[in-house]
Amino acid sequence: MASALGAQVAAVAPIGSDGRHYRSCSSLKGNNSCNKSWTGKLAWENKTLQPRHTKKVFCMYVQQASKSKCKVAIKPLELENTKEPPLNLYKPKGPYTASIVSVERIVGPKAPGETCHIVIDHGGNVPYWEGQSYGVIPPGENPKKPGAPNTVRLYSIASTRYGDSFDGRTASLCVRRAVYYDPETGKEDPSKKGICSNFLCDSKPGDKIQITGMQPCKKP
């Protein structure tokens, strides 16, 4: 469904009144095909079918340099069927060990401070709702309690429940690196830097991370 000149992809909705099921149609050089198994929601324009129903049509133009099939991510509908948010699936004494997928700086080189977008792979084992937070246990000992692990730090989850890969297996955090500058010398004091934020911002793909959750949703 592609060529060097580009392809046109259109999604047509709905098949039913609840607006959840859609069919997709593609058009390339006058050839039309439809796949009724596609599920998703994109931008649309409204056309009247019946007094209580509307037909929503979306057209997306994709420029592709080589021949390949266009794949559309399908969201896991079971994540929408839950009636209550998941709570306290993993606690500090029994955290879940997840993996770092990526760490990306998301501010410019002249920005005051550093903020990173961190993608965590939890394998679908630590689901969450929008507005909830993960607890992160940084490695090492608690400086105030020698021999004891570091305490949990809470971070609001930046991604939707579907995650960055839209499969319900990842979660994203946006973390600002916590550093301390001596007001007299103006120099950074590494001994007072944030333990967890620096651990997260310094992480590499494949690194393990211990997380707890879920914490209750924040009230507006």
Across the chain, which has 220 residues, the per-10-residue mean pLDDT values are 42 41 40 43 43 42 42 63 88 96 96 95 94 96 91 96 92 96 88 94 98 73
Does residue 157 lie within any of the structural domains?
A: yes
Does residue 129 lie within any of the structural domains?
A: yes
The answer to whether the CB of 114 falls within 8 A of the CB of 107 is: yes
Q: Which residues contact 112 (CB under 8 A, 6 or more apart)?
A: none
Q: What confidence score (pLDDT) does residue 194 get?
A: 95
The answer to whether the CB of 99 falls within 8 A of the CB of 207 is: yes
Q: What confidence score (pLDDT) does residue 83 get?
A: 84
Q: How many Cβ atoms sit within 10 Å of the Cβ of residue 139?
A: 13
Q: What does the alpha-carbon distance between residue 38 and residue 9 come to, in Å, rounded to a whole number?
A: 12
Domain count, the chain: 1
Residue with tokens 């399908």: 74
Does residue 81 lie within any of the structural domains?
A: no
Say which CATH number the domain at 152 has. 2.40.30.10
Does residue 195 lie within any of the structural domains?
A: yes
What range defines the domain where residue 102 resides?
93-212
User: Which secondary structure element, helix H or strand E, spans residue 95, and what is its range?
Assistant: none
Question: Which of 180-194 are b and which e, b meaning 16 or more Cβ less than 10 Å from the residue's Cβ?
Answer: eeeeeeeeeeeeeeb
Q: What confidence score (pLDDT) does residue 97 get?
A: 98
Q: Output the CA torsion sign for 121, 127, 132, 138.
A: negative
Does residue 147 lie within any of the structural domains?
A: yes
* CA end-to-end span of the chain: 44
Q: What does the alpha-carbon distance between residue 117 and residue 171 come to, in Å, rounded to a whole number?
A: 10
- Beta bridge partners of residue 133, listed in sequence order: 156
pTM: 0.64
The answer to whether the CB of 163 falls within 8 A of the CB of 170 is: yes
Does residue 59 lie within any of the structural domains?
A: no
Q: What does the alpha-carbon distance between residue 187 and residue 83 come to, in Å, rounded to a whole number?
A: 51
Q: What does the alpha-carbon distance between residue 196 and residue 177 come to, in Å, rounded to a whole number?
A: 9
